[in-house]
Amino acid sequence: MLTDFKFIFIWWLTIFLLSTLSLPLVFLIFKKFWDHGYVFAKTISIFLITYLLFVFGVFKILPFTFFSVLIVILLFLAFDIFLISKNIKFFKKAFFSKIYIFLIEELVFFLVLALWSYVRGFAPDIEGLEKFMDWGFVNSALRSQYFPPADMWYALKPINYYYFGHLVFALITKISNISSTITYNLSIATVCSLTFLSSFSLVSNIIFSYSSFKKAKYYVFGALLSAFLLTFGGNLHLAYKASKTALSEKITLTEASKSYWYPDATRFIGFDPDVQDKTIHEFPIYSFVVADLHGHMNDIPVVILFMAFLFVSLISAKNLLSFSFILPSAFLLSLAYMTNAWDFAVYGLLFGISSLLVTKNFWNTILVGLLVVVSWAIFTFPFSINFIPMAEGLKISDGHSPFYQLFVLYGGFWLICLPFLIFLFKMFFKKKNTKFNSVDLFVASLVITATILIAIPEVIYLKDIYIYEHRRANTMFKLVYQAFIMYSLASGYALIRLRRYVWYKLIFVIIFSLQLTYTYFAVKSYYGLKNYKGLYGLNFLKISYPDNLAAINWLNENVSGQPNIVEAPGDSYTTFNQISMATGLPTIQGWIVHEWLWRGGYDAPAARSQDVSTIYTSDNLDEVEGLLNQYQVKYIFVGDKEYEKYPDLNTTNFKKIGATVVFQSGQTRIYQLP
């Protein structure tokens, strides 16, 4: 653990130093916030620096090297000097008057980072679910000189997915000089920590902005409740399932809960009971537990930052039809899109609803929205020129969720948030408009948007490659994930606003307790918390494929750049394609279904898969050599998975075409082509 603490500290220090670059900008944007939005400097710095390097890399202005990072940091420093020189008195006052607040928030960030890193240390393996894909993206980015990064599972082509969040963590990995085998787990902990502290900062300032809640007991307490719900809260599925089991088996709730399987809370509609309409409905703590470094999780800090900027802009009563609002909004939505594309539409919807409610100006909202979309298209142009969307169009939903199942998943938030809306409506009809302010309206827009997001999959869904049985799954997953975030943020404010109602506080305590209990079962089930293994993510290879691990280490130590390799392709979610994912060296064909999705069809990946089979098994020397030349292969890998996939594997041709064995461990070999 002491060795891991060194890595945690270096990782934290890297993020801290980067965050100081954005403090002047953050202090100006959030000068009305009681904490000046201190934590948002972390998100702005790491994403903005990544974006600049990304643009420079796409247009081949600067390569993705440590020297280029220093150049961008120097540009940032020059901008900071300009801002500080123009506002020296404000910055002195802002910094020295709030320094203890900054220290406390920094300490909380470090503690949550260390806590979740420690939890990850009980099951650190980068194996299962989407981990091969996510880590492969990071490793490919680390090897990239220019962008977009090469697809490590589709040689000669760039990644055709939302990889910007992976690029962010590749950047921090490069600066910190820690192996990506460790930073993968630190990245998960970073998102967890940023989620907790960013949600705390946003909600505390929403509460603080209401004139009656300037006392810390209100805005700190309410914000902590929202932060815990968002970061560590589940839904009511545990309570539902335990109660159902207890009644059917005539046992106590405690006994019934012992058999609870935490993923069931994310696979309920369509699975229990089993019907032909299976959906996915995840939430942040599930992401942190299963630890896929996936776009929907990576984007949480960005969308919270966008909501903070939207809130501070709306309550300032300034004209939204200005570049000072349009450009930052478009830029943040661009970051969200490149990290998790669905979030552009989701938070565009939130912008429209909140702007209408707060400004009450329909045409101004439309005009600003159009200008934001145009600016968004410009900001995302470097990404879009190398990206082909994978959706196949909208479809009318012919499957619908039973209301009781929706209530199990979101009824807790409905019981917390809908009384708040009713409270506002009653105020409106009683014409008490003096209390019906922009803060109330912004929080109401969170609740309304979240509810619409849950309703959308009941009406329409976006068609993709998933089979008919799972037709609504991805649409529901991407929308309700954000609904969970919005409901969580609104909950703390709702409690403070309705604090005088004893019945409401009782409901809140019950819901809060039930939803927080989920984390206990999830962490206990996944991690056990009995055998600490450390943050190194390839222990599973050390145990199951030691020769492959030795080959991976050799490639990472001896091969520079990003030459192509060939290894056996396999089905998605298997242990095939270990070498490409762990080194970032592109193979001809990797996980089949993933490339099927990314390439818009099965035929091309299937053809590549057949080409790989030919390379490993054909007796035709010219055919083998032709394919190796076609895909510009530098290294041929032969190991456990290749022998498993091709029992009649033929290596004699490799020697005949001049390939030499540059690495050998057991039956594992790496051939280098001339």
Q: Is 632 left (phi over 0), alpha (psi -120 to 50) or beta?
A: left
Residues 302 and 346 in one domain: yes
Residue 639 lies in a domain: yes
What pLDDT shows up at residue 468? 83
- The per-residue pLDDT for 595 is 94
Q: Is residue 242 part of a domain?
A: no
Q: Which of 463, 492, 527 is the last residue of a domain?
A: 527
> Collapsing DSSP states into helix, strand and coil, what is residue 664?
strand
> Are residues 623 and 495 part of one domain?
no
Same domain, 226 and 370: yes
Place of tokens 């091309």: 604
Q: In this predicted model, which residue has the larger pLDDT, 408 or 250?
A: 408
| Average pLDDT score over residue span 225-243 | 96
pLDDT above 70 covers a percentage of the chain that reads: 99
Average pLDDT over residues 484-493: 98
3-class SS of residue 147: coil
Give the integer Cα–Cα distance in Å for 607 and 613: 10
Is residue 534 in some structural domain?
no
Q: What's the CA angle centered on 348, arms 343 and 350, to 5 degrees?
A: 100
Provide the number of structural domains found in the chain. Answer: 2
Q: Are residues 518 and 551 in the same domain?
A: no
Amino acid found at 605: P
Domain that holds residue 52: 2-236+281-527
The answer on 23 and 120 residing in a single domain is yes
Q: Give 531: exposed, middle or buried? Use CB within 10 Å, 0-12, 13-18, 19+.
A: exposed
Contact 192, 112 (CB under 8 A): yes
Please tell me the predicted confidence (pLDDT) of residue 428: 74
Q: Token digits for 96? A: 């020295």
Tell whether 522 and 557 lie within a shared domain. Answer: no
**Contacts of residue 25, Cβ cutoff 8 Å, sequence gap at least 6:** 41, 44, 79, 80, 83
Give the H or E element holding residue 461. strand 460-462
Instruction: Based on the fold, state whether residues 561 and 440 are members of the same structural domain.
Output: no
SS3 sequence of 240-273: HHHHHHHHHHCCCHHHHHCCCCHHHHHCCCCECC
The mean pLDDT of the chain is 94
Do 285 and 425 sit in the same domain of this protein? yes
Of the residues 527, 552, 583, which one is the last residue of a structural domain?
527
**Mean pLDDT calculated for residue range 443-448:** 97
Residue in the structure block whose two tokens are 């030349």 = 629
In a domain, 261, yes or no: no
Q: What pLDDT, on the 0 to 100 scale, is given for residue 651?
A: 87
Residues 552 and 631 in one domain: yes
Q: Tens digit of pLDDT for each residue in 370-421?
A: 999 999 999 999 999 999 887 778 899 998 999 999 999 999 999 999 999 9
Would you say 121 and 115 are in contact if contact means Cβ atoms under 8 Å apart?
Answer: no
Question: Is 612 a domain residue?
Answer: yes
Supply φ then ψ for residue 662, to 5 degrees.
-105, -10
Please state, for a pLDDT cut of 90, what percent of the chain lies above it. 85
pLDDT at 361 over 70: yes
> Is the domain of 60 the same as that of 121?
yes
Same domain, 560 and 486: no
pTM of the model: 0.96
Q: Would residue 276 count as lying in a domain?
A: no
Distance, in Å, from the CA atom of 47 to the CA atom of 531, rounded to the nearest integer, reads 35
pLDDT for residue 463: 84
Whether 579 contacts 600, CB under 8 Å: no
Residues 589 and 565: their CA atoms lie apart, in Å, by 10
467 lies in a domain? yes
Which of these, 582, 590, 672, 588, lies nearest to 634 by C-alpha position?
672
Q: Could you say which of 496, 527, 558 is where a domain stops? A: 527
Residue 654 lies in a domain: yes
CATH (domain of 666): 3.40.50
Give CA–CA dist 485/229, Å, rounded.
9
How far is Cα 387 from Cα 393, in angstroms, rounded to an integer?
17
Q: Are residues 593 and 462 in the same domain?
A: no
Structure tokens at 192: 């967890």
Give the DSSP per-residue string, 632-653. Answer: TEEEEEESHHHHHH-TT---HH
| pLDDT (tens digit per residue) in 313-343 | 999 876 788 899 999 999 999 999 999 999 9
Q: What is the mean pLDDT of residues 116-133?
A: 96
Q: Which of 8-12, 141-145, 421-425, 605-609 has the lowest mean pLDDT?
A: 421-425
